[in-house]
Homo-oligomer: A and B are copies of this chain.
Amino acid sequence: MSREAARWRSRRQLRGQYRDKAEQERPQGPSAVRLKPKQVTLPPLPPAHAMIQPMPRLSVPAALALGSAALGAAFATGLFLGRWCPPWRSPREKRLLPPEDNPLWQYLLSRSLREHPALRSLRLLTLEQPKGDSMMTCEQAQLLANLARLIKAKKALDLGTFTGYSALALALALPPAGRVVTCEVNPGPPELGRPLWRQAEEEHKIDLRLKPALETLDELLDAGEAGTFDMAVVDADKENCTAYYERCLQLLRPGGILAVLSVLWRGEVLQPQPRDLETQCVRNLNERILRDARVHISLLPLGDGLTLAFKI
C-alpha cells in the first residue's frame, strides 16, 4: 500500500469517528424533534399576458392629488385667460402697432430714422408738454417729408400746428423758396417751437396763422390759391375733418398729396354706435375717402392711422 492510499484511509476513519460522536450527542426520546429543512413554496407564476403589465403607479394621498389638480387647473385657467382675453385697457388704447418698447419696433425705428437735430430737440420738447403725445410721430413726419421731396413740393399746408414739429419737418423738405402755411388756434405751443424753427434756419418758410383752420382755408381759396399746393397735412380737430378734407383737396394741385392723421381715432372707429361727435366724423371721413374717385388712397398703420390720398 502506498503512502498516499494509507493517508486517504486514515481520513475516512477519522470522519467515521466524528459521525458516531454526533449521533451519540443528539438528544434521544419522544421529545426529540428531528429538524427537517423548511419547505419553501413559491407563489404560482402569473399567466404570460400578465407578466408584461406596467409597474404599479406611484401612490399619493387623495388630498394631495386633488389639491395639485385644483392648483394646476387654476394656473391653466389664468394662463389661458391672460393669453387670449383682451387686456383691461380702455377701448381708447387700441392701436395697431406694438408698444414703443417692442424690440422689433425699436429695430425698425433705429434702422430708418434720420431726424434733423432741431426736429429731435423739438420732438423731445413737445413730449414734455400736456397732450404732447398727440403730436405727429417721427416716422410719420419722415415719410411725409420724403413724399414732399419726391414730388418736389414747394407749397405745403399744415392744419394743427401744435409746437410746429410737422411744419418744421415739411419746411426742411422744401426748397429754400418753399412755404408752409400752418394753422393753429392755440397761440402757446407754436411759440415753444419757434426757437427751433429758427435754429434749423427754416423760420422764414413757416407761415403761422393763429385762427380757426377753416377761416385760413377759405382765405386761401378766396385768394385764388386753389390747385397750387403740393401737399396738405390734416391733424386738427376732428369735428371739422370732412370740411378740411374738401377744402384741402381744392387747394391741392393734381398729383398733390393729402395726408390725414389719426384716422383710426385710437380704435374708437370700431364702436358700433359712436356716441361722440368726433368718432362719428372720423368714420364718415374714412367712408368718404374710400369712395372718393378724385384720389388714390393708402391707409398706413403708422401712429394712430395715416391716410394718404394722392390727388389724381
Contacts and interface: CB of A to CB of B under 8 A. Distances in A.
Interface of A: 67, 70-72, 74-84, 87, 94-98, 102-105, 107-109, 111-112, 114, 139, 142-143, 145-147, 149-151, 255, 257, 263-264, 267, 269-270, 286-287, 289-290, 296-302, 305, 307-308, 310
Given A96-B97, A111-B287, 10 more contacts: A70-B71, A72-B74, A78-B82, A80-B82, A94-B104, A96-B104, A104-B270, A111-B263, A114-B296, A139-B298
A185 to B, nearest CB: 28
Contacts of A270: 103-104, 107
Contact of A111 (B108, B139, B151, B286): B286
A227 B172 CA distance: 26
Nearest to A150: B310
A72 B77 CA distance: 11
Contacts of A112: 290, 297-299, 307
Instruction: Determine which residue in A296, A307, A308 has the highest number of CB atoms from chain B within 10 A of its CB, and name it.
Output: A296
A80 to B, nearest CB: 7
Q: Nearest 3 CB-CB pairs, A to B?
A: A82-B82, A78-B78, A112-B299
A292 B142 CA distance: 16
Contacts of A149: 296, 310
Contacts of A142: 298
A52 to B, nearest CB: 35
A108 B80 contact: no
17 contacts: A75-B78, A77-B78, A78-B79, A78-B81, A82-B84, A96-B97, A96-B98, A97-B301, A104-B264, A104-B270, A108-B264, A108-B301, A108-B305, A111-B290, A147-B150, A150-B151, A150-B310
Contacts of A97: 96-97, 301
Nearest to A94: B104
